[in-house]
């Protein structure tokens, strides 16, 4: 039943899953740009991420009734972003589906609602550098929390803030040349008192309910590189978290992690684009959670990672407003060539102004020299008249 449901969601989201690009408040797959959407712009985005691995038993002595199981970690999200005003956009996202891989409950669907507000598109050094600020809020909607393979959450009202910094090699048209992006933020899981393991969990052998002792907080970071071309964007990202205050030992995901993500974006039209990327874990696979005799865990005695060692990312973006006619690549090239032409004219005009300024300076110097020469003539005439 669960596998059929997953397949149903995947096929249901295929028209949507092709809809996720950098329009959803201007970002790569994980790293945010300091730019915001223009006022009145509305974008719809969705993505699908998945990891799978066969859970083979560690060691040579397998029980007679043991059979390998193919574990999945699937996550689907849908998102709307609207440019509210200049320098400010607002995003709302719903996690449509996420695997839990726990006894008696295999998934949350739907899960939580995420609200992001971004203030940005502020420029420095003639818009070559950009900066902004992102505020985050997570509203719990799911049935249960604290599950393996996914970043930590315990069902609290989570919130955070993140600073955004960008460098654009082309300060006039940011998508015409490479750019660099850096994110650094603080996040509070607000999980004190939230249930990590309930007494009625089928895998709980203690019969006790375990709750989080305090609020887990973390440092979130990301560095991204984007190299655009006519039809494709090539992206590289390094991102992850470092806990400032780690979650309780009964949490499945209480370790720091870091991922490297190469991705490509295909832009066949001006109003939609496709994404394909792979998250590759570069952090170690240590596990600091409680004893497996206390905390039921799908990774127990199996060759499964604490965090997924890789995840495939599929996405697509669709611009709903303003409605624009799509442009073929050749038309885009024509538009860009016109921009290059006018930009060259501006540069020539600047050079002409510079030459005119130089001519004015030389003219003033000549006038000053003539004035000084005239004064010298007068002095010589006066001295000559006095000697007679």
* Of 87 and 287, more confident: 87
In angstroms, rounded to a whole number, what is the distance separating the alpha carbons of residues 85 and 12?
33
pLDDT tops 50 at residue 290? yes
Burial class (CB in 10 A: 0-12, 13-18, 19+), 3: exposed
Percent of the chain predicted with pLDDT > 90: 40
124-133, 256-265, 368-377: least confident range: 368-377
Most confident among 66-80, 153-167, 296-310, 343-357 (mean pLDDT): 153-167
Q: pLDDT tens-digit profile of 208-248?
A: 888 898 899 999 999 999 999 989 999 999 999 999 999 99
Percent of the chain predicted with pLDDT > 70: 75
In angstroms, rounded to a whole number, what is the distance separating the alpha carbons of residues 41 and 25?
10
Q: What is the pLDDT of residue 129?
A: 95
Tell me the Ramachandran region of residue 145: left when phi exceeds 0, alpha when psi lies from -120 to 50, beta otherwise: beta
Q: pLDDT grade, residue 8 (50/70/90)?
A: very low
Reported residue count of the chain is 388
Q: What is the pLDDT of residue 295?
A: 62
Cis geometry, peptide bond prior to residue 110 (ω within 30 degrees of 0): yes
DSSP string, 58-113: SSS---TT---EEEEEEEEEEEEEEEEETTEEEEEEEEEEEEEEETTEEEESS--E
Name residue, tokens 């990301």.
Answer: 222
φ, ψ (nearest 5 deg) of residue 374: -65, -40
Q: What is the pLDDT of residue 24?
A: 45
* Of 289 and 213, more confident: 213
How confident is the prediction for the chain on average, in pLDDT? Answer: 81
Six token digits for residue 353: 């102004």
Integer angstrom CA distances of residue 136 from 85, 141, 184, 330: 18, 16, 13, 40
Q: pLDDT grade, residue 104 (50/70/90)?
A: low
Mean pLDDT of 326-330: 48
Most confident among 18-27, 157-166, 298-307 (mean pLDDT): 157-166
Domain residue limits, the chain: 2-326, 333-388
pLDDT tops 60 at residue 80? yes
User: Is residue 122 within 8 Å of residue 92, measured between CB atoms?
Assistant: no
Mention every residue, 6+ apart, whose C-beta is less than 8 A from residue 129: 123, 165, 166, 167, 168
Mean pLDDT of 101-124: 83
Q: What is the pLDDT of residue 185?
A: 97
Q: Say how many C-beta atoms besides its own lie within 10 A of residue 339's C-beta.
A: 13
In angstroms, rounded to a whole number, what is the distance separating the alpha carbons of residues 179 and 39?
23
Q: pLDDT grade, residue 387 (50/70/90)?
A: low
> Selecting from 2.40.160.40, 1.10.10.10, 3.40.50.970, 3.10.129.10, what CATH number does the domain 2-326 have?
2.40.160.40
Alpha-carbon torsion, ordered 285, 291, 293, 299, to 10 deg: -10
pLDDT tops 90 at residue 157? yes
Q: pLDDT grade, residue 44 (50/70/90)?
A: very high
Mean pLDDT of 282-304: 69
* Of 145 and 168, more confident: 168
Name residue, tokens 């394909």.
Answer: 276
Q: pLDDT grade, residue 56 (50/70/90)?
A: low
Q: What are the b/e assignments for 166-175, b being 16+ CB within 10 Å?
A: bbbeebeebe
Residue 338's H or E segment, with its range, is helix 329-387
With H, G, I as helix, E, B as strand and everything else as coil, classify residue 263: strand
């Amino acid at each position: 039943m669960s596998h059929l449901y997953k397949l149903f969601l995947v096929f249901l989201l295929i028209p949507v899953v092709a809809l996720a690009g950098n329009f959803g408040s201007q970002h790569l797959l994980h790293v945010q740009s300091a730019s915001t959407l223009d006022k009145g712009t509305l974008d719809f985005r969705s993505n699908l991420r998945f990891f799978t691995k066969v859970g083979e038993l560690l060691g040579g002595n397998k029980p007679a009734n043991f059979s390998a199981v193919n574990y999945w970690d699937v996550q689907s999200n849908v998102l709307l972003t609207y440019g509210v005003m200049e320098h400010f956009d607002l995003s709302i996202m719903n996690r449509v589906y996420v695997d839990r891989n726990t006894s008696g409950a295999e998934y949350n669907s739907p899960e939580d609602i995420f609200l992001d507000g971004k203030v940005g598109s502020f420029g420095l050094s003639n818009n070559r550098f950009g900066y902004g600020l992102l505020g985050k809020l997570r509203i719990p909607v799911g049935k249960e929390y604290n599950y393996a393979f996914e970043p930590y959450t315990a069902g609290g009202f989570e919130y955070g803030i993140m600073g955004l910094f960008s460098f654009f090699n082309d300060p006039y048209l940011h998508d015409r040349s490479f750019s660099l992006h850096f994110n650094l933020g603080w996040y509070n899981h607000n999980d004190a008192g939230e249930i990590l393991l309930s007494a009625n969990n089928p895998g709980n052998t203690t019969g006790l309910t375990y709750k989080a002792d305090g609020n887990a907080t973390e440092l979130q970071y990301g560095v991204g590189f984007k190299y655009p071309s006519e039809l494709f964007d090539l992206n590289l990202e390094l991102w992850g978290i470092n806990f400032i205050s780690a979650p309780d030992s009964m949490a499945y995901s209480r370790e720091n992690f870091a991922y490297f993500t190469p991705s490509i974006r295909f832009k066949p039209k001006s109003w939609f684009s496709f994404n394909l990327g792979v998250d590759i874990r570069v952090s170690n696979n240590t596990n600091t959670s409680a004893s497996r005799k206390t905390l039921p865990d799908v990774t127990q005695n199996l060759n499964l990672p604490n965090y997924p060692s890789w995840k495939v990312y599929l996405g697509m973006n669709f611009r709903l407003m303003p409605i624009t006619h799509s442009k073929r690549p050749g038309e885009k090239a024509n538009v860009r060539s016109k921009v290059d032409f006018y930009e060259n004219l501006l540069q020539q005009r600047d050079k002409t102004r510079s030459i005119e300024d130089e001519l004015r300076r030389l003219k003033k110097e000549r006038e000053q020299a003539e004035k000084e020469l005239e004064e010298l003539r007068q002095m010589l005439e006066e001295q000559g008249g006095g000697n007679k």
